[in-house]
Amino acid sequence: MIMIIINRSKKEAKKILKSHAPINSLSIKSSILECIGDTPLVRLNRLFTDPDIEVLAKLECMNPGGSMKDRPARYIIEQGLKNGTIQSNSHIVESTSGNLGIALAMMGRLYGLAVTCVVDPKVSAVNLKIMKQMGANIEMVTEADEQGGYLLTRIAHVQYLLGSIPNSVWINQYANSNNWKSHFEGTGTEIADALDDLDVLIAGVSTSGSIMGIARRLREKFPALHVVGVDAVGSIIFGGPPGSRDLPGIGASRIPELLNKSEIDSVYHINDLDSANGCRALLRYEGIFAGGSSGSVVAAAQQVVAKMRKPIGRPLRVVIILPDRGERYMDKVYDDDWYAMVEAKWLAVEGEVVHE
């Protein structure tokens, strides 16, 4: 291992080098599949400075496909191959805003399966390029549904493809129980094994697979856990009024079959501007370059910790889930022109509310 060490004594340098494992001590993986999961938990003590609050981020952006969607993609494909619902000649079809499409395309490469991703104009340009490079076929819908989103239009096109592509199989992440099970056995178990106490879980909601699976596993160990769902302004999942959304990742224009609302204690709706500010704050204070839904979770966490009652004798401990990487949002969250457009939009909306 080569490291550049500046302004340190030889003794300090030797100590640092000794603390790093030599390369031959690292386990060799048989494929990229074995790199999925075991993502780190990181304290965000620069962003959340109150000593009575400890916020831990689960960095799902460090999965090899760049997002937490690697987990259900692998689990669903492998379970399907085991139980026969997916065959060696199956053609996988799914509606996706990007991350699951990338993960499924990666699985397709490894298992020799054809993959078609149905996307819409809100998809990140980077995600679209990655899916294509991974070998996925792309079907783009352009007509918004009656809720102002594209999900219903995408699903309708999936149904069309199922009737026209031989041996096609729909993953159906919004209703597939293996979605939440992948997080129960994976993400949730990793968090539970790492911690002795936990008060609050904060996670974004779209298919609801991740928050359902993680919360169910964590409540086995922490029965009093307060679960916070983070939804997008404009999403109808929790009964909010439908509206347009610029950022993909969380929210939906339909209620997912996997969702059990009784398992979520409180819900925060975050607009695109607050999501972008959350992303930029995470990068500025913690050096974590995360995607749009991560910013939504950070923005919600800033509100949650201000309201929660602190336990006696220890800090309030909160886990937040950061789903994906930031480079996929260079044309959105981290683009100053896009940010200025979204800022003007939401400041105008707030001004209208004030005047009313």
Per the DSSP assignment, residues forming a β-bridge with 290 are 325
Cβ proximity of 325 and 291 under 8 Å: yes
> Which of 261, 333, 274 shows the shortest CA–CA distance to 300?
274
Cβ neighbours of residue 37 under 8 Å, at least 6 residues apart? 63, 70, 71, 186, 187, 190
Cβ proximity of 269 and 239 under 8 Å: no
Under DSSP, is residue 139 helix (H, G, I), strand (E, B) or coil?
strand
Tell me the C-alpha distance between 86 and 77, whole Å.
Answer: 7
Segment (H or E) for 320:
strand 316-322
| Largest Cα span, the chain | 69
Distance of CA 149 to the CA centre of its chain: 19
Which residues are part of the catalytic machinery?
69
Per the DSSP assignment, residues forming a β-bridge with 316 are 53
Task: Label residue 254 exposed, middle or buried (CB < 10 Å: 0-12, 13-18, 19+).
Answer: middle
Distance of CA 121 to the CA centre of its chain: 19
- CA atoms in the 13 A half-sphere facing the CB of 267: 21
Helix, strand, coil tally for the chain in percent (to 5): 45, 15, 40
